[in-house]
C-alpha cells in the first residue's frame, strides 16, 4: 500500500504559520496546556471573523495583530524582550526561507517577514520612547534593556575582568543595533534617545578612571556614528543644561547636569566635593612615602594608560560630532558655554561649588588638543586662517574682557565702537597714547599701537580659527590651572611637613593636648595633599605625549603672534600693531608657565623644537611697548634660566644660546634692560619677586660670559651704554646686595638670640607651652627667610665681584663711585668689624652663611675696582664714607684674610688701597680746614656736600650736584623735590653757580679738582 502524501500548504497558510511563530500568537484556541508564551488573541479572531476575513496572519494583518499582542495585560514576558525575541525569530525564519524552492512563494514570504521585522523595530522604538503605551511586563525599563544591548555590543575582552561589566546577560541579535538606529526618522528616534542618553549619563556618573567608564564611553562613541543619534545628542535637553541647582554655580551645574559633563568628569584628579569611585588617590597612592618606587611607577603607568583611553574616546566623540555638518555648530556652542560658565576658574582661588572640576577641564584640554592636531604643524596657510579679529567680534564667548597684552578693555571697546561708526581710521585708539609705561633704562616710552591692518568683523570664522581661540581658553582654565594647583599643593605640602617636623620636635618639651591634635590634623592633611599631588602628577606630568601636544599648540600661538608683528625680526617696529596689542595676555603667560614646568621634567622637551620660543622671548622680553606686564617678561627669563645647559641636562640647549643669531645679537642687552625694568616696576608685585627675577637674569649673564661672542657683547654694551642701561643694572645690583645682606645678617642675629633662649634649658622649660611653640615657629620661619636672603646675597656679591673684575670702569663714574665705596665699607664693617663675633651661629652653612667666602669676595671687589682706577677717585670715595669707614678695618680684615688663606696678591693690594684711603682722609681734613664755612647755596641740598657740577631741575628749579642727581635717577626717574618725571637729558647746567663755586675754591687756595672738595658739609 502506498504511503499517504503530505497535503500541500498554500502560500497563505505558509505565511500564517511563519508569522504566528515569529509573533508567538494564535487566532485559534490553543490546546491545553498551551505552548509557553503563546498568546491566544481571541478578540482579534472574533473581529476578523466579523469582517469576513480568514483567521490567517498576513502582511496586511501583521501590525494589527502585533498591536493586539502588545496590548495584552499582563504580558507573559517583558515587552522589550518579547519584541527582541520576535526580531531574532525573524532572522531565523529568513534563513529558512532562503531554502524554499518556489521562487514566487519565497519572494512573498521573505517580503512578509521583512515587513514584520520592520514593524517590530518600529514598535520597539515606540515602546522605548513611550513605555507608558504598552505594559512593560517587568521592573526593568525598556531603555535600560536597550542600553544593556549597546553595552554588550561594544564590550571588550577586559570589561568583565573586574566583575563590573555593564552588558548583563542580554545580547542583541546580529545586526539589531545597527538596524535600530540606522535610516530612521528623527520623530521616531528622538523620544528613544532622550531616555537613552540620560541612562548613559547615569552609568558613568561619579566613576573614576579605575572604574568602568570605558563601556559607557564606547557606547557613546558607537551611537554618535549614526547621524540621527548624533543630532539627538546635541539637541538633548542636557546637552547644554538650562536648569539651576541650589548652592551650586552655573559652571558646576554645567558639569553635573550635561551629558558630556559626566564623561568629562572621569578623572584621576580628585574632586573633593563630588568624589568618584574607586578612589584613585586611596587605591594608588595611600601612604605613598612608605611605598616602593616600583609600586608608585606601576600606579603612574596604570593611570596614564586608562586616562589616555579616556582621551581617545572623548576625542572620537567630539570629532564625529564635528564631522557632521548638522551637529558641528552645537559642539562649538558646547565648548563656548563651558568656557563662559567657568571663567572664574582662571582666578587664584576657585570656588569648587561654582565652577566645574579641574578633572573636567583637563580632559577637555586633551580633547581640544586632539582637535587641533591637523593644524599644529603651523604651516603658513593654516596660520592665516586664525583671524585676530575673532578676539573682538566672535559671538560665542567674551575674549575682549580678558587682560590684553598691550591694551585696556576700554581701549578695545573704543576701537570696536569706532569701527561700528565706520571711523576705524580715526579711532581714538590710534590717537591716544598708551598709559604711561614703567620707565626702562633705554629711556623708551610706551608707543601707541600702530594702525596695522583693520580688524574686520566676519559673519563666519573658520573652524581652525574657532578651535585655536577656544583651545587657548580651555587650556588656561584646564591644563594650566591644574599645573598651578600642583605647584600650590607642593608648596603647601612642604610647609605642612616643616610644621609637622617642628611640632614633633616640641613633644620633648612637654606636649600639650592641643599639640597632639595639631600633629594628627597635619598628618591627615599631608596624606590628603600627597594623594592629590600624585594624582595630578600621574594624569598630567607623567604623560609626555599630552604635554608635548600642549607645547606644540603653544608653539603655534607663539609663531602666530610673531606673525602679527611681521614675523621674526629685530628691532621691533616702533609701534605695537593692534592685532598684537589685543591678544590676551594669558596666551603668552600660559606658554611660559608650561615651558617652565616641562623644562623641569626629565626628557619632556626631547622632541620639542625650541627655536621659535627663543625667538619670541628675545624679541619681547625687553619691550614694554609690546608687552606691558614686566612680570610676564620676567617669566620669559625664568624659561631661559631653566634652559641653562647645566640645569636642563639637554645638550641641544647650548646651541640655542651659543649659535642662535637672534640670541647672539640681542640676548645680553635685553637681559640688562629687563633687569633694570623690573627694578623700576617693583611696586607692582610682591617685594621679594624682584630678587628672584633679577637673580635669574644674573645667572644667565654669568653663563653667557663664558660664551666668547656674548662676552664681547657685554663688554661693548658696558662701553657704549656707560651712562645708560648698564649703569642702571649695576645700581640695582648694588641695591639688592645691600638690602639682602643686611636683612639676612639681621635674621641671623635674631636666630642666635632664639638659639640662646633654647640653650638655657631651665629657663626655656619654665615658659608656657604656647609661648615655646610660638618662639619655635618664629625660629623656623626666620631660618627659611635667612637661608633664602643669604643665598641671593651670596650670588649678588659674586656677580659684583665678577663684573668688577671684568669691567671696572663703570664703578668709578662720579655717580657710582661713592655708592660702591659705601656699600663695600658697610660689608667690611659687618664681616671684619667689632660685631663680627655676634654673627657666630651653630650651623652657619645651614643658612648659606659663608662669612669667610664673603670677606674674600669683598676684598676682591675692592682690589678689582682699584686696579681700574687711574684717577685715584676710589680711595677718596672710600675715605669719605662717614657711616662705615674706619682705617683700622682694613688692617683687621687683612689679618683675617691671611688666616683664612686668601690670595696673597689680593691681600697686599687690599692693604695698599687701605693706605691710600687713609691718605685721602687726611688730605680731606686739610682741605676742610682750608675751606672753613661753606655758603649754603654751594651745598648740594640732598647730600649737604660742596657741589662740583651744579645742575637745575626743570620742574622744581632746585640746584643739585650732577653726580648726586644722576645717582638718584639710577633708581628713580622723578624729581626728588616734587616727584615729577625727570631724566638725565632734562638736567640744565647751572653755569653761573659753578663759576661761583670755582671762584670760592680759588680764594681759599683749594684747586677745584682737589681731593675732598665735595665732602665739605655745612
Answer yes or no: do 551 and 585 share one domain.
Answer: yes
Residue 428 placed within a domain: no
Answer yes or no: do 710 and 737 share one domain.
Answer: no
Residue 526 placed within a domain: no
Answer yes or no: do 643 and 679 share one domain.
Answer: yes
Confidence at residue 895, expressed as pLDDT on a 0 to 100 scale: 92
Among residues 14, 17, 10, 18, which one has the least CA distance to residue 113?
A: 18
Which residues form the domain of 67? 11-143
Which SS3 state, helix, strand or coil, does residue 939 take? strand
Residue 888 has pLDDT above 70, yes or no: yes
From the CB of residue 212, how many other CB atoms can be counted at a distance below 10 Å?
20
Chosen domain end from 78, 108, 143: 143
Positive or negative: CA dihedral 76, 77, 78, 82: negative
Distance CA 578, CA 432 (A): 13
1: pLDDT confidence band, cut at 50, 70 and 90? Answer: very low
768: pLDDT confidence band, cut at 50, 70 and 90? Answer: confident
Tell me the per-residue pLDDT of 703-736, one tens digit each, with 9 for 90 and over: 888 888 898 888 888 877 656 788 888 888 888 8
Q: What is the mean pLDDT of residues 896-908?
A: 92
Is the separation of the CB atoms in 505 and 758 below 8 Å?
A: no
Answer yes or no: do 292 and 237 share one domain.
Answer: yes
Confidence at residue 773, expressed as pLDDT on a 0 to 100 scale: 74
CA quadruple 147, 225, 119, 82: dihedral, nearest 10:
-20
Which SS3 state, helix, strand or coil, does residue 946 take? strand
Percentage with pLDDT > 70 across the chain: 91
Answer yes or no: do 667 and 738 share one domain.
Answer: no
Q: Number of folded domains in the chain?
A: 5
Sorted by sequence, the CB contacts under 8 Å of residue 212 that are 6+ apart come out as 159, 162, 164, 165, 166
The CA distances from residue 339 to 107, 356, 422, in Å, are 58, 10, 31
Answer yes or no: do 693 and 768 share one domain.
Answer: no
Q: What is the mean pLDDT of residues 504-519?
A: 73
Answer yes or no: do 73 and 93 share one domain.
Answer: yes
Q: For position 959, which CATH number holds? A: 3.30.40.10
Sorted by sequence, the CB contacts under 8 Å of residue 708 that are 6+ apart come out as none
425: pLDDT confidence band, cut at 50, 70 and 90? Answer: very low
Residue 592 has pLDDT above 90, yes or no: yes
Chosen domain end from 383, 406, 436: 383
Q: What is the mean pLDDT of residues 429-444?
A: 38
Q: Are strands 25-26 and 39-40 parallel, antiparallel or unpaired?
A: parallel
Answer yes or no: do 953 and 905 share one domain.
Answer: no
Spacing of C-alpha 36 from chain mean position: 66
Confidence at residue 435, expressed as pLDDT on a 0 to 100 scale: 36
Answer yes or no: do 921 and 944 share one domain.
Answer: no
Tell me the per-residue pLDDT of 79-131, one tens digit each, with 9 for 90 and over: 999 999 999 999 999 999 988 888 999 999 999 999 999 999 999 999 998 88
Confidence at residue 1010, expressed as pLDDT on a 0 to 100 scale: 42
Instruction: Provide the grid cell at 495.
Output: 610647609
Q: What is the mean pLDDT of residues 575-579?
A: 92
Which SS3 state, helix, strand or coil, does residue 242 take? coil
User: Poorest-confidence range of 304-318, 502-516, 812-826?
Assistant: 502-516
> What are the φ and ψ backbone dihedral angles of 781, each rounded to 5 degrees?
-65, -45
Confidence at residue 1013, expressed as pLDDT on a 0 to 100 scale: 44
Which SS3 state, helix, strand or coil, does residue 1007 take? coil
Q: What is the mean pLDDT of residues 611-637?
A: 93
The CA distances from residue 476 to 224, 538, 552, 587, in Å, are 29, 20, 15, 8
Residue 474 placed within a domain: no
Sorted by sequence, the CB contacts under 8 Å of residue 698 that are 6+ apart come out as 675, 733, 795, 796, 799
Among residues 260, 254, 228, 231, which one has the least CA distance to residue 242?
A: 254
H or E segment to which residue 654 belongs: helix 653-658
Residue 418 placed within a domain: no
Confidence at residue 426, expressed as pLDDT on a 0 to 100 scale: 44
Residue 509 has pLDDT above 90, yes or no: no
328-341 helix and 358-372 helix, angle to the nearest 10 degrees: 140
Distance CA 879, CA 748 (A): 29
Confidence at residue 452, expressed as pLDDT on a 0 to 100 scale: 57
Residue 767 placed within a domain: yes
Among residues 623, 725, 610, 744, which one has the least CA distance to residue 679?
A: 725
Among residues 476, 462, 639, 660, which one has the least CA distance to residue 553?
A: 476
Confidence at residue 1015, expressed as pLDDT on a 0 to 100 scale: 43
pTM of the model: 0.85
Task: Outline where 544-648 has alpha helix (H).
Answer: 544-563, 578-581, 585-599, 611-620, 630-642, 645-648
Residue 16 has pLDDT above 90, yes or no: yes
Task: List residues bridging with 404 in a β-sheet.
Answer: 584
CA quadruple 267, 270, 275, 281: dihedral, nearest 10:
100
Q: Which of 127-141, 350-364, 406-420, 762-776 has the highest mean pLDDT?
A: 350-364
Higher pLDDT, 185 or 4: 185
Confidence at residue 651, expressed as pLDDT on a 0 to 100 scale: 62
User: Poorest-confidence range of 188-197, 300-309, 403-412, 513-522?
Assistant: 513-522
Report the chain's terminal Cα–Cα distance, integer Å: 156
Tell me the per-residue pLDDT of 648-658, one tens digit each, with 9 for 90 and over: 666 667 778 88
Burial class (CB in 10 A: 0-12, 13-18, 19+), 189: buried
Task: Report the mean per-residue pLDDT for the chain.
Answer: 86
Confidence at residue 652, expressed as pLDDT on a 0 to 100 scale: 66
Residue 46 has pLDDT above 90, yes or no: yes
H or E segment to which residue 952 belongs: strand 950-952
158: pLDDT confidence band, cut at 50, 70 and 90? Answer: low
Residue 172 placed within a domain: no
Confidence at residue 442, expressed as pLDDT on a 0 to 100 scale: 37
Residue 520 placed within a domain: no
Residue 143 has pLDDT above 50, yes or no: yes
Residue 659 placed within a domain: yes
Percentage with pLDDT > 90 across the chain: 47
Answer yes or no: do 301 and 377 share one domain.
Answer: yes
Answer yes or no: do 582 and 696 share one domain.
Answer: yes
Residue 528 has pLDDT above 90, yes or no: yes
Amino acid at each position: 500500500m502506498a504511503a499517504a502524501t503530505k497535503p500541500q500548504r498554500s502560500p497563505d497558510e505558509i505565511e500564517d504559520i511563519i508569522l504566528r511563530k515569529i509573533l508567538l500568537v494564535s487566532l485559534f484556541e490553543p490546546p491545553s496546556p498551551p505552548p509557553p508564551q503563546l498568546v491566544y488573541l481571541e478578540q482579534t479572531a472574533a473581529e476578523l471573523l466579523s469582517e469576513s476575513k480568514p483567521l490567517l496572519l498576513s502582511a496586511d494583518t501583521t501590525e494589527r495583530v502585533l498591536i493586539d499582542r502588545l496590548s495584552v495585560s499582563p504580558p507573559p514576558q517583558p515587552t522589550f524582550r518579547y519584541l527582541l525575541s520576535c526580531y531574532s525569530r525573524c532572522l531565523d525564519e529568513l534563513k529558512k526561507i532562503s531554502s524554499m524552492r518556489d521562487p514566487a512563494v519565497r519572494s512573498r514570504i521573505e517580503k512578509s517577514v521583512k515587513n514584520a521585522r520592520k514593524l517590530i523595530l518600529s514598535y520597539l522604538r515606540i515602546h522605548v520612547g513611550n513605555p507608558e503605551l504598552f505594559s512593560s511586563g517587568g521592573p526593568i525599563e525598556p531603555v535600560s534593556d536597550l542600553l544593556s544591548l549597546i553595552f554588550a555590543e561594544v564590550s571588550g575582552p577586559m570589561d568583565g575582568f573586574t566583575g563590573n561589566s555593564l552588558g548583563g546577560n542580554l545580547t542583541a541579535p546580529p545586526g539589531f543595533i545597527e538596524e535600530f538606529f540606522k535610516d530612521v526618522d528623527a520623530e521616531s528616534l528622538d523620544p528613544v534617545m532622550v531616555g537613552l542618553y540620560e541612562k548613559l549619563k547615569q552609568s558613568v556618573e561619579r566613576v573614576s578612571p579605575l572604574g568602568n567608564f570605558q563601556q559607557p564611553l564606547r557606547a557613546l562613541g558607537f551611537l554618535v556614528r549614526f547621524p540621527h543619534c548624533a543630532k539627538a545628542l546635541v539637541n538633548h535637553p542636557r546637552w547644554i543644561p538650562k536648569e539651576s541647582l541650589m548652592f551650586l554655580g552655573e559652571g558646576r551645574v554645567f558639569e553635573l547636569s550635561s551629558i558630556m559633563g559626566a564623561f568629562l568628569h572621569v578623572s584621576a584628579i580628585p574632586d573633593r566635593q563630588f568624589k568618584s569611585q574607586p578612589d584613585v588617590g586611596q587605591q594608588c597612592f595611600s601612604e605613598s612615602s612608605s611605598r616602593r618606587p616600583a609600586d608608585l611607577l606601576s600606579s603612574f603607568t596604570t593611570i596614564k594608560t586608562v586616562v589616555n583611553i579616556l582621551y581617545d574616546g572623548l576625542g572620537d566623540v567630539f570629532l564625529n560630532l564635528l564631522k557632521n555638518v548638522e551637529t558641528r555648530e552645537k559642539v562649538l556652542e558646547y565648548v563656548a558655554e563651558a568656557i563662559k560658565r567657568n571663567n572664574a576658574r582662571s582666578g587664584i582661588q576657585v570656588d569648587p561649588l561654582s565652577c566645574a572640576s579641574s578633572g573636567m577641564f583637563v580632559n577637555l584640554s586633551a580633547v581640544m588638543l586632539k582637535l587641533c592636531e591637523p593644524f599644529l604643524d603651523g604651516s603658513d596657510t593654516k596660520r592665516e586662517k586664525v583671524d585676530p579679529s575673532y578676539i573682538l567680534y566672535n559671538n560665542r564667548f567674551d575674549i575682549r574682557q580678558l587682560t590684553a597684552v598691550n591694551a585696556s578693555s576700554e581701549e578695545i571697546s573704543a576701537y570696536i565702537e569706532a569701527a561700528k561708526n565706520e571711523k576705524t581710521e580715526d579711532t581714538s585708539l590710534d590717537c591716544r597714547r598708551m598709559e604711561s609705561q614703567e620707565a626702562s633704562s633705554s629711556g623708551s616710552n610706551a608707543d601707541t599701537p600702530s594702525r596695522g591692518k583693520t580688524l574686520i568683523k566676519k559673519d563666519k570664522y573658520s573652524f581652525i580659527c574657532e578651535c585655536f581661540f577656544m583651545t587657548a581658553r580651555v587650556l588656561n582654565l584646564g591644563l594650566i590651572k591644574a599645573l598651578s594647583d600642583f605647584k600650590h599643593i607642593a608648596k603647601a605640602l612642604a610647609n605642612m611637613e616643616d610644621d609637622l617636623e617642628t611640632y614633633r620636635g616640641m613633644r620633648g618639651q612637654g606636649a600639650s593636648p592641643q599639640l597632639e591634635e595639631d600633629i594628627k590634623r597635619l598628618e591627615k592633611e599631608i596624606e590628603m595633599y600627597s594623594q592629590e599631588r600624585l594624582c595630578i602628577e600621574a594624569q598630567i606630568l607623567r604623560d609626555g605625549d599630552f604635554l608635548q601636544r600642549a607645547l606644540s599648540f603653544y608653539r603655534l600661538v607663539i609663531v602666530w603672534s610673531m606673525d602679527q608683528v611681521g614675523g621674526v625680526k629685530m628691532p621691533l617696529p616702533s609701534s605695537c600693531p593692534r592685532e598684537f596689542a589685543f591678544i590676551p595676555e594669558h596666551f603668552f603667560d600660559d606658554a611660559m608657565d608650561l615651558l617652565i614646568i616641562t623644562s623641569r621634567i626629565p626628557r619632556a622637551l626631547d622632541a620639542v623644537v625650541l627655536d621659535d620660543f627663543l625667538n619670541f622671548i628675545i624679541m619681547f622680553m625687553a619691550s614694554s611697548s609690546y608687552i606691558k606686564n614686566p612680570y610676564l617678561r620676567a617669566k620669559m627669563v625664568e624659561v631661559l634660566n631653566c634652559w641653562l645647559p647645566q640645569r636642563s641636562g639637554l645638550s641641544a640647549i647650548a646651541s640655542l644660546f651659543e649659535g642662535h643669531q637672534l640670541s647672539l645679537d640681542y640676548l645680553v642687552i635685553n637681559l640688562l634692560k629687563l633687569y633694570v625694568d623690573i627694578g623700576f616696576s617693583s611696586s607692582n608685585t610682591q617685594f621679594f619677586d624682584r630678587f628672584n627675577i633679577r637673580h635669574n637674569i644674573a645667572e644667565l649673564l654669568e653663563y653667557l660670559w663664558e660664551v666668547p661672542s656674548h662676552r664681547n657683547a657685554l663688554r661693548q654694551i658696558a662701553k657704549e651704554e656707560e651712562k645708560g642701561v648698564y649703569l642702571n643694572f649695576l645700581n640695582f645690583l648694588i641695591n639688592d646686595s645691600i638690602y639682602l645682606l643686611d636683612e639676612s645678617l639681621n635674621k641671623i642675629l635674631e636666630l642666635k638670640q632664639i638659639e640662646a633662649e633654647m640653650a638655657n634649658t631651665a629657663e626655656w622649660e619654665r615658659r608656657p607651652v604656647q609661648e615655646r611653640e610660638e618662639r619655635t615657629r618664629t625660629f623656623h620661619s626666620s631660618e627659611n627667610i635667612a637661608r633664602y636672603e643669604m643665598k641671593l646675597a651670596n650670588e649678588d656679591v659674586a656677580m659684583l665681584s665678577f663684573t668688577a673684575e671684568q669691567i671696572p670702569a663703570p664703578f668709578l663714574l662720579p655717580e657710582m663711585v661713592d655708592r660702591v665705596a659705601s656699600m663695600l665699607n658697610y660689608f667690611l664693617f659687618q664681616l671684619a668689624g667689632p660685631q663680627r663675633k655676634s654673627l657666630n651661629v651653630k650651623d652657619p652653612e645651614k643658612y648659606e652663611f659663608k662669612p669667610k667666602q664673603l670677606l674674600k669676595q669683598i676684598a676682591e671687589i675692592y682690589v678689582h675696582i682699584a686696579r681700574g682706577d687711574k684717577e685715584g677717585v676710589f680711595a677718596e670715595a672710600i675715605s669719605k664714607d662717614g657711616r662705615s669707614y674706619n682705617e683700622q678695618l682694613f688692617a683687621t680684615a687683612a689679618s683675617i684674610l691671611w688666616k683664612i688663606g686668601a690670595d696673597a696678591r689680593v691681600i697686599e693690594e687690599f692693604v695698599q688701597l687701605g693706605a691710600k684711603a687713609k691718605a685721602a682722609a687726611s688730605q680731606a681734613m686739610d682741605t676742610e680746614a682750608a675751606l672753613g664755612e661753606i655758603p649754603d647755596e654751594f651745598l648740594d641740598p640732598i647730600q649737604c656736600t660742596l657741589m662740583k657740577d651744579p645742575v637745575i631741575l626743570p620742574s622744581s628749579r632746585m640746584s643739585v650736584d650732577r653726580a648726586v642727581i644722576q645717582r638718584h635717577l639710577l633708581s628713580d626717574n622723578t624729581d626728588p623735590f616734587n616727584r615729577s618725571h625727570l631724566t638725565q637729558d632734562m638736567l640744565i647746567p647751572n653755569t653761573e653757580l659753578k663759576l661761583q663755586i670755582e671762584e670760592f675754591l680759588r680764594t681759599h687756595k683749594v684747586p677745584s679738582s682737589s681731593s675732598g672738595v665735595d665732602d665739605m658739609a655745612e
